[in-house]
Amino acid sequence: MAPGNCTTVTGFIFRGITDNSKLQNIVFVFFFAVYFCTLAGNVGMILLIRVDSQLHSSMYFFLSHLSLLDVVYSSVIAPKAMVSSLVKSKDISFPGCVVQFFLFSFCANNELCLLAVMAYDRFMAICKPLLYNVIMSKRVCFQLVAGSYLCACVNATVHTCTVFSLSFGHSNVLDHFFCDIRPLQEISCSDFHINKLVHFTFAAIETIGTILIILISYIYIIFAILRIRSTAGRHKAFSTCASHLTAVSILYGTLIFTYLRPSSGSSVDWEKMVAVFYTLVIPMLNPLIYSLRNKEVKDALRRTICQKIISHCM
């Protein structure tokens, strides 16, 4: 539609996951359960890292920030999605949509940066163990986290400004359950080809850049592990990376499928399911991945529980 036919849009309406009223109740229960588990798991991880002195290392410092991002990430999406699944009014104001999109983009970009930082941390721990504590000092860790937040903020600002510079008007109905790039572009009455190119370029630069950091780090890690003579030593070295590799595979796989693939005829419903996975399910899975596959976290959890039981009995 030509820009001249656009009208001023003051808000948007979500179509949501489904129009079926019975299924909407199931969607609410699912969202509530996942969101509750996400909050419990990630807040629990942050508190565990804070109270247990043996987890006061750079690896768990980064992990606590990843958990914090997961809390914000899911909180940006889940509460509004739950309300929309229960009430007839599924609207969101234009400023509200801008804020939701910015925070969603900021958290998603920040997680990519943090996963790259954590890969570098594992590289230093395994390839340069004698210099690890010197190189990965508190100051360096703060700088790496601050750099991740800064890069994420820049990317989120570019994506937000680019998307909301479009004109909307011929429709304000988003065929989604939150403000995302594709649904917003689809209802725009502007020519968004340049907009799409800018988004793809910035998304590709960050995704490919962080993937390269992770790949290079793990190439060095693999060669370092192969040089370890004992099987037990190799297993211990690899186990410190298993959780991170699992989280990287899940997150990057879904994001690449959603944002970096060419436009195709895949169904909107399928894209919504994928969006549910990376906005709600992955933030819930991260603390499970890092606790179930990490001996230090499991030991810290046992110590904390035992201390609480002992203090309660005394």
1 pLDDT more than 50: no
Report which secondary-structure segment, H or E, holds 102: helix 94-127
Tokens standing for 191?
Answer: 């020519």
From CA 78, how far away is CA 98, in angstroms rounded?
A: 16
Question: Which tens digit of pLDDT belongs to each residue from 11-34?
Answer: 888 888 877 777 888 888 999 999
Question: Which tens digit of pLDDT belongs to each residue from 36-65?
Answer: 999 999 999 899 888 887 888 888 899 999
265 pLDDT more than 60: no
Per DSSP, the three-state class of 93 is: strand
Q: What is the pLDDT of residue 35?
A: 94
From CA 140, how far away is CA 4, in angstroms rounded?
A: 52
7: left (phi over 0), alpha (psi -120 to 50) or beta: beta
Mean pLDDT of the chain: 84
Q: What is the pLDDT of residue 292?
A: 66
HSE, side-chain direction, 13 A CA sphere, residue 33: 6
pTM for this entry: 0.87
Question: Which tens digit of pLDDT belongs to each residue from 179-188?
Answer: 988 888 888 8
Average pLDDT over residues 309-314: 62
From CA 23, how far away is CA 92, in angstroms rounded?
A: 22
DSSP states along 14-62: E--S-S-HHHHHHHHHHHHHHHHHHHHHHHHHHHHHHH-GGG-SHHHHH
Q: What is the pLDDT of residue 309?
A: 65
16: left (phi over 0), alpha (psi -120 to 50) or beta: left
Nearest to 209 by CA among 66, 142, 109: 109
Nearest to 196 by CA among 206, 207, 184: 184
Q: What is the Cα 24 distance to its own chain's centre?
A: 25
From CA 155, how far away is CA 138, in angstroms rounded?
A: 26
From CA 80, how far away is CA 178, in angstroms rounded?
A: 8
263 pLDDT more than 70: no
Structural domains in the chain?
10-313 (1.20.1070.10)
Average pLDDT over residues 113-121: 94
Sign of CA dihedral 288, 293, 296, 301: positive
Nearest to 106 by CA among 138, 67, 154: 154
Poorest-confidence range of 246-260, 283-297, 298-312?
A: 298-312
From CA 218, how far away is CA 102, in angstroms rounded?
A: 31
2 pLDDT more than 50: no
Q: What is the pLDDT of residue 140?
A: 94
> Would strands 91-93 and 11-14 be described as parallel, antiparallel, or unpaired?
antiparallel
From CA 21, how far away is CA 25, in angstroms rounded?
A: 7
Average pLDDT over residues 283-309: 76
How crowded is residue 156: how many other Cβ atoms within 10 Å of its Cβ?
21
**217-223 own/partner pairs: CB under 8 Å, 24+ apart:** 217/119, 217/120, 217/122, 217/123, 218/119, 218/122, 218/123, 218/245, 220/123, 220/127, 221/122, 221/123, 221/126, 221/127
